[in-house]
């Protein structure tokens, strides 16, 4: 017994020694962490010329920031050099009005106090010709496995025109090295249901596929197979991806029944953002934004909203250690809400009175609210609001 304990202590010591470089590198890396992402506009969005486009980005940093730069097609349009204290996520934004049709890349980058660009995020948008404003634009946005025998394909209408109910268009899911050398897993008419408005997203999941395909081959999803719809962009109708099935969990075998001391088991639930979304101080849009997360970000589900209101999740972001509320409509999860505790809603924020712009034609009460001075001319005439500040 002493021999085995001695071997165990030696093994633990060796593991600690070999882990020291990794622990050191992790601690060094955590000292300065920078991350920036774009919340709006969404990737692939389309606009008419002259439309104001709000660029909203969030940045996380625990080091000093020299500059956050917003560029359009490589040309700087706004430099943010004074962000104030980070606690722990800051928002930067800019309104851009494109004049000419074309494809544009919006880039947001953060530079540290040594002049090194630490993080960059990109979004591609299109400004359409007038004729394209009356066309839809179907695009495949994501392709994934559900379990080990079903395929899910997400698609969206990125155009400005609505696809009416009953307008036929087909979706194909194929497996194989190319479209020509592939096997069809699904062929379905996804255009017979509801209308697909501009900006709408949809998804299709196959029935269980038997026999289970060889997932080492690439899988392709094609929307509008057969090109029945005249679209703005015909090059974004398909997406090919290498799908990885879940790793099967090995069943442990035991030849002896060890004595185990019972311990408490902590159950953790998780969910993934299906789209870019804000996270708020309470379960509703009346509450102030805390931060925002991009599609694909995974968070811990801690609690749910009270019965009688739409489902909101109270989440914990493990990466930035943030707790906040997010609408249940944007979180993708298989977790039953009934498994989580109910968390009471915090008090609603007190509405802030709307500031009135100072003008000479305001009433006396409005003039005072607008920080003006109510004047009654000594020589006669109507009283007025003096906005000169004198």
Same domain, yes or no: 102 and 142: no
| Beta strands 384-386; 373-375: pairing state | antiparallel
The CB-based long-range contact list for 161-165 (8 Å cut-off, 24+ gap) reads 161/133, 161/134, 161/135, 161/136, 161/198, 162/136, 162/195, 162/196, 162/197, 162/198, 163/136, 163/138, 163/191, 163/195, 163/196, 163/229, 164/195, 165/192, 165/193, 165/194, 165/195
- Same domain? For 142 and 113 the reply is no
Cα distances (angstroms) measured from residue 109 to each of 68, 74, 180, 258, 304: 6, 11, 41, 55, 35
Residue 324 belongs to domain spanning: 269-339
Can you give the CATH number for the domain in which 310 is found?
Answer: 2.30.30.40
**Which element (helix H / strand E) includes 367?**
helix 364-369
Looking at residue 311, its pLDDT comes to 92
Domain assignment of residue 274, yes or no:
yes
Where does residue 184 fall: left (phi above 0), alpha (psi -120 to 50 degrees), or beta otherwise? beta
Q: Are residues 169 and 211 in the same domain?
A: yes
Contact 109, 69 (CB under 8 A): yes
Global model pTM greater than 0.85: no
Please report the beta strands in 242-343, taking only residues with DSSP state E, as ranges in sequence order.
269-273, 277-280, 289-293, 298-304, 312-317, 322-327, 331-332
Q: Return the pLDDT at 72.
A: 94
| Same domain? 366 vs 309 | no
**Residue 98, domain CATH:** 2.60.40.650
Q: Are residues 47 and 126 in the same domain?
A: yes
CATH number for the domain spanning 193: value is: 2.60.40.10
Task: Report residue 26 CA to chain centroid gap.
Answer: 26
Residues 286 and 371 in one domain: no
At residue 90, the pLDDT reads: 77
In a domain, 49, yes or no: yes
Q: Tens digit of pLDDT per residue, the chain (390 long)?
A: 444 444 445 444 444 444 444 444 444 444 567 788 898 888 888 888 888 899 998 888 777 788 889 999 999 998 887 665 555 677 888 899 998 888 999 999 988 878 888 789 999 998 877 666 678 888 998 899 888 888 999 888 888 788 877 678 889 999 988 878 889 998 888 876 677 888 888 888 888 888 888 888 999 999 998 888 888 788 888 999 988 887 665 555 555 555 544 443 445 688 999 888 889 999 988 888 888 888 888 899 999 999 888 899 999 988 778 899 999 989 998 888 988 999 999 988 776 566 677 887 888 888 877 778 888 777 667 888 887 765
CA distance 219 to 209: 13
Residue 3 lies in a domain: no
pLDDT confidence of residue 265 = 40
At residue 98, the 3 state secondary structure works out as: coil
The pLDDT value recorded for residue 86 is 54
Q: Are residues 139 and 228 in the same domain?
A: yes
Question: How many domains does the structure of the chain reveal?
Answer: 4
177 and 213 share a domain?
yes
The answer to whether residues 152 and 179 belong to one domain is yes
**Beta-carbon count within 10 A of 166 CB:** 10
Same domain for 125 and 145? Answer: no
């Amino acid at each position: 017994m002493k021999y085995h304990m001695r071997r165990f202590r030696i093994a633990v010591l060796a593991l600690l020694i070999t882990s020291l470089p990794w622990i050191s590198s992790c601690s060094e890396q955590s000292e300065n962490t920078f991350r920036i992402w774009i919340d709006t506009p969404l990737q692939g969005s389309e606009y008419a010329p002259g439309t104001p486009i709000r660029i909203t980005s969030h940045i996380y940093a625990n080091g000093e920031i020299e500059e956050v730069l917003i560029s359009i097609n490589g040309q700087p349009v706004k430099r943010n050099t004074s962000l104030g204290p980070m606690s722990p996520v800051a928002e930067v934004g800019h309104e851009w009005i494109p004049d000419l049709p074309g494809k544009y890349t919006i880039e947001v980058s953060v530079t540290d106090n040594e002049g090194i660009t630490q993080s960059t995020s990109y979004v591609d948008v299109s400004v359409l010709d007038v004729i394209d404003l009356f066309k839809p634009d179907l695009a495949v946005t994501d392709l994934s496995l559900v379990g080990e025998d079903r395929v899910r394909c997400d698609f969206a209408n990125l155009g400005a025109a609505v696809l009416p109910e009953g307008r036929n268009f087909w979706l194909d899911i194929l497996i194989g090295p190319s479209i020509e050398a592939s096997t069809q897993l699904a062929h379905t008419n996804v255009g017979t249901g509801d209308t697909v408005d501009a900006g709408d997203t949809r998804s299709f999941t196959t029935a269980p596929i038997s026999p289970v395909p060889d997932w080492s081959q690439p899988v392709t999803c094609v929307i509008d197979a057969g090109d029945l719809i005249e679209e703005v962009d015909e090059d974004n109708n398909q997406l090919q991806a290498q799908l990885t099935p879940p790793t099967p969990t090995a069943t442990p075998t035991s030849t002896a029944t060890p004595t185990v001391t019972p311990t408490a088991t902590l159950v953790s639930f998780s969910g993934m953002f299906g789209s870019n979304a804000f996270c708020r101080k309470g379960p509703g849009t009346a509450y102030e934004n805390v931060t925002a997360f991009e599609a694909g970000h995974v968070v811990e589900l801690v609690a749910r909203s009270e019965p009688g209101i739409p489902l909101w999740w109270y989440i914990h972001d493990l990466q930035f250690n943030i707790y906040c509320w997010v609408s249940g409509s944007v979180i993708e999860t298989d977790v039953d809400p009934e498994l989580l505790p109910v968390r009471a809603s915090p008090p609603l924020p007190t509405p802030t009175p709307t500031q009135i712009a100072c003008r000479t034609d305001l009433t006396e009460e409005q003039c005072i609210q607008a920080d003006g001075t109510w004047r009654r001319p000594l020589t006669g005439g109507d009283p007025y609001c003096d906005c000169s500040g004198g």
